[in-house]
Amino acid sequence: MIRVLCNYLLQIHQFRSSTPLILFIPRNFSLFVQSPVALRCRNKCTTINSSINCCGIAQTLISRCSVLLEKEENGSVLPNSSLKDFLLEISDVVPEYVRRIRRISELKPEDVLTLFLGFQSKVGDNGIQVKKVVCLWRILKFVNESNGSFKQLPRLYEVMASLLVQVGKFKEVEQLLSEMEIQGILLDNPEAFSCIIQGFVCEGNLEKAILIYEKARRRCISPSLSCYRVLVDSLVRMKKTQVALGVCTDMVEMGFDLGDDEKAAFENVVGLLCWQGKVLEARNLVKKFVASGFRPSDEVLYRITRGYCEKKDFEDLLSFFFEIKSPPNVFSGNKIIHSLCKNFGSESACLYLRELECTGFKPDEITFGILITWSCREGNLRNAFIYMSELLSSGLKPDLHSYNALISAMLKEGLWENGQGILAEMVERGTEPNLSTFRILLAGYCKARQFEEAKKIVLEMERCGFIQLSPVDDLLCKIFSFLGFNDSAVRLKRDNNAGVSKTEFFDTLGNGLYLDTDVDEYEKTLTEVLENSILPDFNLLIIEECKNRDLKAVLRLTAQMDRWGQELTSVGLMGLLKSHCKSNLRIKPIIDVWKRRPDMIAQLEADALNLLVQAYSKNTSTSSGIGTLNEMIRMDVRIEKETYSALINSMCKIGNLSDLVGCWDRARKDGWVPGLLDFKSLISCLCKKGELKEVVFLLETMLVSYPHSRLDILNIFLERLSEDGFPAIGRVLAKELTSLGFSLDQKAYELLIIGLCKENTVSIAINVLDDMMAMSMVPCIDVCLLLIPTLCKIGRYETAITLKEIGTTKLSSSSRRVYGALMKGFFTTGKVREALALLEGMMSKGLSLDAEIYNLLIQGHCKAKNFEKARELLGVMVRKDLSLSISSYGKLVRLMCMEGRSLQALHLKDIMLRNRKSHDCVIYNILIFYLFRSGNSFLVGKILDELLPDNVTYNFLVYGFSQCKDFSSSTLYLFTMIQREFRPSNRSLNAVISHLCDTGQLEKALELSWEMEFRGWILNSAVQNAIVECFISYGKLQEAECFLNRMVEKSLIPKHVDYNNIIKQFCQSGRWLKAMDLINIMLKQGNIPNASSYDFVIQCCCNYKKLEEALDLHTEVLDRCLKPSITTCDELVSSLCREGQTKEAERVLMSMLEMGEIPSKDAYRSMLNRYRYENDLEKASETMRAMQQSGYELDFETQWSLISKLSDTSLENSNNNNSNKGFLSGLLSKSGFSRVSIP
C-alpha cells in the first residue's frame, strides 16, 4: 500500500510547476486576522447603530419589496383592467362559459348568472383562488356601471355573496348586500346567509354577524347547523348572554341532529346562564333540549345543579330532575348532598338523598362519606354508623376520609378504646391509613391520657415509613411536636405525693402521672386537631401540599375534590397557580376554571389572574387564556408583560393566526414589546403564515425599542427569512440599513449568504461576500465551504483560494473540509493539475488524508476519465479500510462500464456490499443503470437474484430493457412492479406503452392503463396521447373518446396536460366537439393549447357550419395573444360570407390586418362577392383598394361584375353619373386598362 501511495505522490510531483496555484492567488491578497482591537468592533458597531433613526424602515422596505410582500391570495387586480382581462383571468376555470359570453357586446343578467353558476360548480372540489373571485366581483361591478338598465337576479347575488364569503372578502359582501336592499332583492338562500354569518364571526365582527342572523330569522330563514355553532361559541366567548340564549334556543328548536360540537356549544350557553345566576332560563333551555329528543350531558346537569345549590333551591332542582327524567351523576349528586349538609344538616341531606334516588341516582361511597363526615361533625355518631352500615351493605368500599371522620369523632367523644378497632378494620378492607389518620389517633390518645397507646402509634408510623426514629428519641416529645406543641410546652411528670396530689392518670406500673402544662390550652389544641380532621377541607389540603411541593399529591387531591362536592376557592387556586409556574404538569382544575367557574375570575387579584393566563398558556389552552384576558381587560386589571409573552408564545406554537393578531394588537396598545425570545417565536409564526408585512413592522418596532440590541434583532430577522425562503427581503433591508449608516456584523452577512445560496441566487450571494471581505470581515467556515465550489464553477478561482486560506488559518480543525471544497471545485471545472498541487500542499502541512479527500480524488479522476489513478486510490482506500461514498462508487461504475470493464464493476459491487450495512438497493441500482447504459443488459440477469428490487430498481429494469429493444422483458417487469404496488415512473411507462401502441398491441396497453386507473395513478400526457392515437389509427374514435372521458371522471388528468397532437387528429376525423372539450381540459389544467390546435378546431367548425363556435374560438385565440394561421382566417372569412355574417367576416379580416398579416386573395374575393350580393358598393370599393394595396390584381370576371353593378346603379341614380365614371375610370386604370381602350 505504501509503495502505491508513494508512486501516486511521485506522479503528483511530475505536475509541479511554479505557476499553478500562484496564478490564482490575487496579488493584493492579505489574510485578515482579528486583533484585540477588532474584537471590540461589535461594541463600536452597537454604539453607532443605536444612534440611527429606524423609524419608517418598515414602510421603506414594503415599498421596495412590494412584489415579494404581496401575498398571492390578496387577489389584487389592476384598477385599469378591462372586462376582457377579467374574463381571461377566470377562463382557465370555466373556459366554456367565458367563451360563450366573450363576444356579447352587452351582457344580460342571465349571461352573467350562467357564468357565475358555472364557476361555482367548477371550484367546489378543487378549492378557490381569491384572485378569481375578485375578478367575478369586478365583472359584476363592470356590467352594473356600464349598463344602467342591468337588473340583477337574486340567484346571481346569492352566488356572488357565497363566493366572496368563502375567500374572506367581507367588505365586498357588505357592498353587495347594500345593493340588494337598494334594488329590493331579498336574499333567501340559507346557505348564503350561513356563509356570511360565519365569515363575519371568523373575521371577529360579531355585531354584523348578529345583524345578518337577525335579518335571516325575520325572513324565516334558518342558517346551517355549523353556522349556529360558530355563532353561539362566539357569543358565549364575548358574554352576549341573551343573544346567545336566543340563538341557542333557535338551534335546539329547529330540530337539527346535533353533533358533539353543537352539544358542547349548548353546554357553554347553559354554563354562561348559570354563571350569571339565570338558572331558570338555563333550566327552560335544557327542557327544550330534552323535548327535542336529546339527553343532557353530565356537564350540563352539573352546571344546573351548581346554580341551584348557590340559590339553595333544592326542591326546584329535584323537580327538574323528575321533569327531564335524567338522574344526576355522582359529581352532581354529591354536590347536592354536600350543599344540603352545609346549609341544612346531614339529616335533611339524607332525606333528600332518598328522593333523589327515585330519579335514578345511584350514590357511591363518597356520597355516604359526605353524610358520615357531616354527621360526625354534628356529633351524631349514631347516624354516622348507620350511613357506614348502609355503605357496606351496598357493596361499596369506604373512603379513607370516612374512616378518619369516624375515628376522630369517637376519640373526641372519649371512645378511645374503639380507635384501634376501626383502624384494624380499615386496614383489613384494604384502605391504608395516611398521616392524618395517625395524627387523629395521637390526638385522641393524648386527650384520653393514653400515652402508652400513643407510643405504639408512633412505632406504627415508623413501620409505615411516615417518620424515622433514632434510639435517643423521646417518643412523647415526638408525639407532642407532631401535634403542634412546643418542645417545652408540655411535660409529663410523676406525682411524688408531696402535698396535694396532682395525679391525673397512672402508667402501667401504677405510677401517678400528671401533665405539667396549661391544661385548657392543651385540651383546646387536641380538640381542634380532632375537629379539623372530621370534615376534609380539600382547599387547605391542596395549599398544604403546594407548600410541600408535592405536585402528585396536589393532582390527587384536586381529582377528589369534585367527587366530594367541594370547589376550589380563590385561595386554593392561588396556591395551585404558584405551584404550576414551577412545574410542567397540566393541572386540570386550572384548565376548568374558565369553563366551570368563570365567577371566580372576579374574585382573583391581579397577580392571580396574570398567573392564571400564564398557566393556560403553558397548557396551550389559549381559548381559556384569551377569555380570561378579555375579562381582565373588562375589569381594568393590570396585565403584566409576562402574561402577554406567555399567551402570544403559546398561540405561536399552535399557529392560530386570527387570535394571535388580535392578542398582539391588544398587547401593542398596552405598550408591550416582545423580548428577543418572543420576537424569534413571533416572526417564526408570522413567516410561516406568510404575514411578511406584519413581520416587517414588528422588526421596526424592535429596532426602535431596543437600540442597543439591534444587531441581535437583525440577525434573528435575517435567520428567519433565510430559513423560510425570503432572503431577497433581507438583502434589501441590509442595503437600506447600510445606506442609513448602519453597520452590519459578520453574522448578518453570513446569514444573507446562506439564505441566498439556498434560493439559488448565488451571484447575489457572491456580491454579498465581496462586500463582506471588502470590510475586512472573515467569513465563517460554513460560508467558505458553501461558496468555494461555486466560485470555482464561475471561474473566480482567486476568491475561492482566498477563502481556502482563510478557512485553513482560522479553523485548523476544519482544514481538511476546506481543502476538500476547493479540490472539488478544481475537479468539477477540469483543473486536475491544480487539484493535485493542492493535495501536495495539504500533505506538506502535515494534514493526513481522510475518506472524504480520497473520495474527492476518485471522483475527480473519474471525471477526467483516468481509470488507472482512480483504481490506485481505490486500492489505498480498501487497504486503509476507508469507506467509498455512494457518489464515488457511482462514478467508478460509470467509468468501468463505459470502458468495457463491466466485470470489474461487478467486483466493486461486492466490495461495497461487504463494507456497508445498508444502501444495498442503491448499490445494485447504480450498477444496473450503468450496465444498461453501456449495453451490457446480459449481465443484469446475473445480479437480479441477489437483491430484493425496490421501485427504482424496477424502473431501471423497465426502461433499460426497453432501450435494449427487449420489450418483452420490459413489459413483464412493468406488470410485476405494478402488481407489487410500485408506481412506475413516467419515463418507464411511456417507453412500454408507446412501444405497445406502435406495434399494435393496444389491448395490452389498455390492460396497463386499467391497472394504473384502478390504483388511482395518473397517466401522463404522453401515455394518454399514445393510447388515443392508437385508437384513432384503428378508426376507434368512440373508444378514444370513452378513454379520455374516463380519465376526466376519475380525476386522472395530470397538471399541464398536453393534448395538442390528438386535438389535431380528432379534428381531422370530424370530432370537433371532442377537440374543443380537450382544449377546455388543457386550459383547466393550466396549459394553453398552441395556435395550431385552435386552427384545426376553428377550421373543423367552419366545415360543419358551426360558425358561432368558430368565432368564439377565434376571439379566444386573439385574447390569448396567439396568432391564428392565414388558412384558418381565410376559411373563417369564406364561411362567414357564405352564411351572410358579413360583420363578423369584416372583424376577422380586420384582425388579420391588425396583426400585420396579409389576407389571401380568396378572402378578399369572398368579401367582394358578399358586398356585391348585398349591393354594398362602397365597401366593395374599399375592399378592392385594400386588395390592390396588398398586391393582388382583380381578375376580369370580378371587375366586369363590379362594372355591371355600377352600371345598374348609374341607371337608377342618374344624378351621380360623373362620380360613377370616376370610380370606373379609377378601377380600370388600377387594373391595367387605359382610358382610351374603353369602348
pLDDT of residue 1224: 42
State pLDDT tens for residues 95-149.
999 998 888 878 888 888 889 888 888 875 556 788 888 888 888 888 877 765 5
Alpha-carbon torsion, ordered 112, 114, 119, 125, to 10 deg? 160
Kind plus residue range of the DSSP H or E element containing 57: helix 57-64
pLDDT at 1079: 95
Phi and psi, residue 1190, nearest 5°: -80, 0
pLDDT of residue 237: 83
Query: pLDDT band at 1081, cuts 50/70/90?
Result: very high
Per-residue buried b or exposed e for 335-353, using 16+ beta carbons within 10 Å of the residue's own CB: bbbbbbbbeeebbebbebb
Which of 905-915 are b and which e, b meaning 16 or more Cβ less than 10 Å from the residue's Cβ? bbebbeebeee
**pTM tops 0.95, yes or no:** no
- The most confident of the ranges 33-47, 271-285, 507-521, 768-782 is 271-285
Joined grid coordinates for residue 798 = 482567486
Least confident of 684-688, 689-693, 697-701: 689-693
Q: Which residues pair with 106 in a beta bridge?
A: none
Residues facing 492 on adjacent strands = 515
Q: Which residues of 171-181 are buried (b: 16+ CB within 10 A; e: fewer)?
A: ebbbebbebbe
Give the long-range contacts of residues 357-364, CB within 8 A, separation 24 or more: 358/322, 359/318, 359/321, 359/322, 359/325, 359/326, 359/327, 359/328, 360/326, 360/327, 361/321, 361/327, 361/328, 361/333, 362/327, 362/330, 363/330, 363/333, 363/394, 364/330, 364/334, 364/396, 364/563
pLDDT over 80 (residue 584)? no
pLDDT confidence bin for 657, thresholds 50/70/90 = confident
Which set of grid coordinates corresponds to residue 3?
509503495
pLDDT at 462 over 50: yes
**Alpha carbons 208 and 189: distance in angstroms, whole number:** 18
> Of 18-32, 61-75, 85-99, 554-568, which has the strongest mean pLDDT?
85-99
Q: What pLDDT, on a 0 to 100 scale, did the predictor assign at position 43?
A: 60
Distance from C-alpha of 779 to C-alpha of 772, rounded to nearest angstrom: 8
Please tell me the distance from the alpha carbon of residue 100 to that of residue 63, in angstroms, as a whole number: 41
Compute the distance between CA of residue 445 and CA of residue 442 in angstroms, rounded to an integer: 5
Angle in degrees, CA 605, 609, 615, rounded to 5:
145
Q: Which residues contact 594 (CB under 8 A, 6 or more apart)?
A: 601, 616, 621, 624, 627, 628
Res 20 pLDDT > 60: no
The pLDDT of residue 42: 56
* pLDDT score, position 25: 39
pLDDT at position 196 = 84
Going by pLDDT thresholds of 50, 70 and 90, the confidence category of residue 38 is very low
Could you write out the three-class secondary structure of 326-386?
Answer: CCCCHHHHHHHHHHHHHHHCHHHHHHHHHHHHCCCCCCCHHHHHHHHHHHHHCCCHHHHHH
Instruction: Collapse the DSSP code of 506 into the 3-class scheme (helix H, G, I; strand E, B; otherwise coil) and give the result.
Output: strand
* The three three-digit cell numbers of residue 1209, written as one number: 346603379
Domain residue limits, the chain: 689-773, 1125-1202
Confidence of residue 952 (pLDDT cuts 50, 70, 90): very high
CA distance 145 to 1055: 37
DSSP of 943-958: HHTTS---HHHHHHHH
The SS3 of residue 1056 is coil
* pLDDT tens per residue across span 93-107: 999 999 988 888 788
Q: Which amino acid is at 935?
A: G
Rounded to 5°, the CA angle 476-480-486 comes to 125
Taking alpha carbons only, the member of 825, 816, 838 closest to residue 786 is 825
The average pLDDT across 1092-1121 equals 93
Provide the mean pLDDT of the chain: 83
Strand ranges across the sheet with 512-516? 491-494, 512-516, 505-506
Higher pLDDT pick, 524 / 1222: 524
Q: With a cut of 50, say whether residue 622 has pLDDT above it.
A: yes
Residue 438: pLDDT above 60?
A: yes
Q: Over 90: is that where the pLDDT of 336 sits?
A: yes
Spatial separation of the C-alpha atoms in residues 924 and 920, rounded to whole Å: 6
CA angle (420 as vertex; 382, 431 as ends), nearest 5: 85
Among the listed ranges 92-106, 178-192, 553-567, 823-837, which one has the minimum average pLDDT value? 178-192
Instruction: Answer whether residue 74 shows pLDDT above 60.
Output: no
pLDDT computed for residue 812 by the predictor: 60
CA dihedral 122, 124, 127, 130 (to 10 degrees): 70
Average pLDDT over residues 745-773: 86
Predicted confidence at residue 508, as pLDDT, reads: 60
> Between residues 1087 and 509, which one has the greater pLDDT?
1087
**Least confident range of 72-81, 280-289, 1010-1019:** 72-81
> What is the pairing mode between strands 512-516 and 491-494?
antiparallel
Mean pLDDT in residue range 266-288: 91
- Please report the pLDDT score of residue 583 as a whole number: 59
d(CA 853, CA 1039): 61
- Max mean pLDDT among 841-855, 921-935, 1225-1239 falls in 921-935
pLDDT at residue 1204 in the model = 64
Of 115-124, 619-628, 1177-1186, the range with the lowest mean pLDDT is 619-628
Lowest average pLDDT, out of 39-48, 173-182, 952-961, 1183-1192, goes to 39-48
CA distances to 370, 522, 524 from 495, in Å: 45, 19, 24
Lowest mean pLDDT among 419-433, 1035-1049, 1186-1200: 1186-1200
**What value, to the nearest 5°, has the Cα angle with vertex 862 and ends 859 and 866?**
135
Kindly report, residue by residue over 1059-1076, the tens digit of the pLDDT.
Answer: 999 999 999 999 999 999
pLDDT for res 602: 74
Q: Is the pLDDT of residue 1230 over 80?
A: no
CA separation for the pair 299, 312 (Å, rounded): 19
pLDDT of residue 123: 74
Residue 1040 has pLDDT above 90, yes or no: yes
Q: Which single residue is written with the C-alpha cell 405497445?
A: 996
| Per-residue pLDDT band at 364 (split at 50, 70, 90) | very high
For residue 152, give the C-alpha cell: 340583477
Identify the DSSP state of 515.
E
pLDDT reported for residue 611: 83
Confidence of residue 1209 (pLDDT cuts 50, 70, 90): low
- Percent share of the chain, pLDDT over 70: 86
Please compute, for residue 757, the number of CA atoms within 13 A of its CA located in the half-sphere on the CB side.
19
User: What confidence tens digit (pLDDT) does each residue in 188-238 have?
Assistant: 778 878 888 888 888 778 888 998 899 888 888 889 999 999 999 999 888
Cross-strand pairs, 515: 492
pLDDT for the residue 503: 60
Gap between the Cα atoms of 165 and 179, Å rounded: 16
Closest CA relative to residue 83, chosen from 13, 4, 146: 146
pLDDT, position 276: 87
Nearest-angstrom CA–CA distance, 742 and 53: 10
CA dihedral 671, 672, 675, 678 (to 10 degrees): -150
